[in-house]
Chain A
Amino acid sequence: MIGQLKFRGASILQKTLIIIFQIMLISYAILIFYPLLNMIISSFKTSREIFKTPYAMPEKWLFSNYVEVWGEGGFGRYFFNSIYVTGISIGIVLLLGSMAAFGICRYDYKLSTFIYLAFLAGIMLPLKAAIIPLFMLVRNLGLMDNPLALILIFTAMSMPSTVFILTGFMKTIPHDLEDSGRIDGANEWMVYRQIIMPLTAPSIALVTIYNAVPVWNDFFFPLVFIQSNKLKTLPLGMSVFFGQYQISWHLLFASLSIAILPMLILYLFLSKYFIKGMTAGALK
């Protein structure tokens, strides 16, 4: 490609600039990595060691910190609650969102633009600001302290971007395919299920990643709707844990590692898709 920054053959001025830029980039990379590395290392130490030798490796690697946080700290339960709520929400979003996208863009009718805009209205709305009516709605439905409240709200929260991205993708699929399916006697559900959905698979992956991250990490809605300890999700459970264990720094670091490591590991495997998904989603 034209105009690549190559060190070799550059003028002195350009070389100086490249070195300055590299120093900036490397510093920033360290600024990102070091705190995470320090967090993981500290999570294997005793509190005393964390203060005495903050930069050193642990004298003895204490896996017991993790055992304690996972069991007594309740992180095992919070972790599975998060998986449960995120999994079901994203499952419903993918089903209803792809059905809606299909219904909006594969048929020719006047209302379709209006319906599309109704879905899109949610993209810019700060849902947190609607918490008072949501709170009353959930209370009237008798869903306080019930994971179903979270599932419904997370579904709603993810629906606009899902419909947006999937509609954009489905538009590009040629109509001939489904028409030939109809001639062969397929009904509309079969057209959706057996012709359009398999072709939409790549953008389904994108939508899953794009929506699962904010849902998995959400703190605000569990804070409002969940009271009992056994139903808390990971971010909410962590905040309770932090209030109770302010002195036990080794446990705090272990709990942070449990909260952050799954995403880090997932990212190491899927970084290509994460990056692609985030750019595509943000640019449209």
Chain B
Amino acid sequence: MKKTKHQSLWITFFVLPGLLIVLVFIVAPLFMSMYNSMFSWKSIARDQFVGMENFHKIFNQYPYKDRFFNAMGNNIQWFLSTMLIQNSLGILFGYLLYKKIAGSAVYQRVFFIPVLFSIVAVGFLWSLYMNPNMGIINRFLKDVGLQSWTRAWLGDEALATPSIIAVNIWRWVGFPTLVFYAGFNAVPEEVVEASYLDGIGEGRLFTHIMIPLIMPSIMVITVLTLIGSLNVFEQIYTMAGLEGGPYYSTDTLGTLFYRTAFGAVDSGLPEVGIGSAIAVVIYVLTFFFSALSIISFKGKEVEL
């Protein structure tokens, strides 16, 4: 149908309100963050243009540098353990559901339940359970005679991050399970049938045929895990506090960014320039790694 001036008006009418909201509340703030990161600030007013100095501080100057790399290390730990534990479990569970193992309909639904809960509620629930004196985890260990296994789960510098990550895995496993389940189901039945006719074993079918064929799902999950790991905030806030306690051992870019931007902890004052620089780093990392994983998986997709 030929477009008339009359129709252009209609298109504008349909598209513009939604577009405005996205431009004002998502796109513009992105560019504003970049702009803000190049200024020094007096409280919450732009002061002087300083170019890359804020970035230089994050990477080189005490205490920003120490906090930044410490937080970054924790974000990397989040990403790696999520990929390794949560997503491997997701692939295994997804495959078993696809194979219609007895009870699969029930498992599928049960595993997904915690995904719907607020991170805040889940965080608080587990911090009660992980309480060293009164929590049910230590209580249970004592009752079954494993007294020596009891720990201050969230109070121990070495254990706090793994404990919080474990809770997060508890919450999320149902999600990759479901995505991989759908991915396996999208594999054409003829392919599976032909493989069986060629006498392929179950193990090789899984590793040589099914895994390559669900690469698109693996890519989606990898990117989502990445974005999720860079944005960890609520879990830390509810289970370890805004400082990423004890002694910054659970600090992430998310909590560090919030503290820097709103001055809740370190110096007590908002450092908007530094905070914006951290935000820009988060943006760049998100874009870079998302693009990288999309490109690197592109060649591995199997054409059918």
User: Do A and B interact?
Assistant: yes
- A279 lies within 8 A of B182 (CB): yes
- B36 lies within 8 A of A132 (CB): yes
CA distance A35 to B117 in the complex (A): 13
**Per-position contact with B for A118-136: 1 when CB-CB < 8 Å, else 0?**
1101101111111111111
CA distance A185 to B287 in the complex (A): 47
Chain A residue total in the interface (Cβ 8 A) = 93
CA distance A122 to B129 in the complex (A): 37
Question: Which residues, 255 to 271 on B, are CB-close (under 8 Å) to A?
Answer: 257-258, 261-262
- A2 lies within 8 A of B189 (CB): yes
Q: B69 on the interface (CB 8 Å rule)?
A: no
Q: A249 on the interface (CB 8 Å rule)?
A: yes
B279 → chain A closest CB, angstroms: 4
Range class of the B interface residue count: 35 or more
- A103 lies within 8 A of B217 (CB): no
CA distance A108 to B99 in the complex (A): 44
B74 → chain A closest CB, angstroms: 16
- B21 lies within 8 A of A156 (CB): yes
- A156 lies within 8 A of B112 (CB): no
Q: Which stretch (B25-33, B57-65, B77-85) binds chain A?
A: B25-33
B285 → chain A closest CB, angstroms: 10
- A96 lies within 8 A of B17 (CB): yes
Chain B neighbourhood of A119, CB < 8 A: 18-19, 22
- A130 lies within 8 A of B29 (CB): yes
Decide: A217 near B11, CB < 8 A? Known: A5-B96, A108-B3: no
- A118 lies within 8 A of B23 (CB): yes
Chain A neighbourhood of B193, CB < 8 A: 2
Q: Which stretch (B103-111, B148-156, B243-251) binds chain A?
A: B103-111
- B25 lies within 8 A of A156 (CB): yes
Q: Which stretch (A22-30, A63-71, A199-207) binds chain B?
A: A22-30
CA distance A278 to B109 in the complex (A): 12
Chain A neighbourhood of B117, CB < 8 A: 217, 259-260, 263
Q: A165 on the interface (CB 8 Å rule)?
A: no
**Per-position contact with A for B171-208: 1 when CB-CB < 8 Å, else 0?**
00101001101110010010011001000001001000
Q: A31 on the interface (CB 8 Å rule)?
A: yes
- B283 lies within 8 A of A263 (CB): no
A112 → chain B closest CB, angstroms: 8
- B118 lies within 8 A of A128 (CB): no
Decide: A22 near B101, CB < 8 A? Known: A124-B286, A124-B290, A259-B118: yes
- B282 lies within 8 A of A126 (CB): yes
- A25 lies within 8 A of B93 (CB): yes
A241 → chain B closest CB, angstroms: 9
Q: Which stretch (B48-56, B157-165, B227-235, B295-303) binds chain A?
A: B227-235
Chain B neighbourhood of A189, CB < 8 A: 10
A15 → chain B closest CB, angstroms: 12
- A128 lies within 8 A of B233 (CB): yes
- A238 lies within 8 A of B231 (CB): no
Decide: A133 near B136, CB < 8 A? Known: A220-B234, A283-B217: no
Chain B neighbourhood of A249, CB < 8 A: 128, 134
By beta carbon, the residue of chain B nearest A192 is B14
**Residue ranges of B at the interface with A (Cβ–Cβ < 8 Å):** 1, 3, 7-8, 10-15, 17-19, 21-30, 32-33, 36, 44, 89, 92-93, 96, 99-103, 106-121, 124-126, 128-129, 134, 136, 139, 170, 173, 175, 178-179, 181-183, 186, 189, 192-193, 196, 202, 205, 216-217, 220, 223-224, 227, 230-231, 233-234, 237-238, 254, 257-258, 261-262, 272, 275-276, 279, 282-283, 286-287, 290
Q: 5 nearest interchain CB pairs?
A: A103-B14, A156-B25, A133-B32, A130-B29, A217-B118
List 8 A–B pairs whose Cβ atoms lie within 8 Å, in order of A's numbering: A25-B101, A119-B18, A119-B22, A188-B14, A213-B116, A224-B262, A256-B121, A282-B179
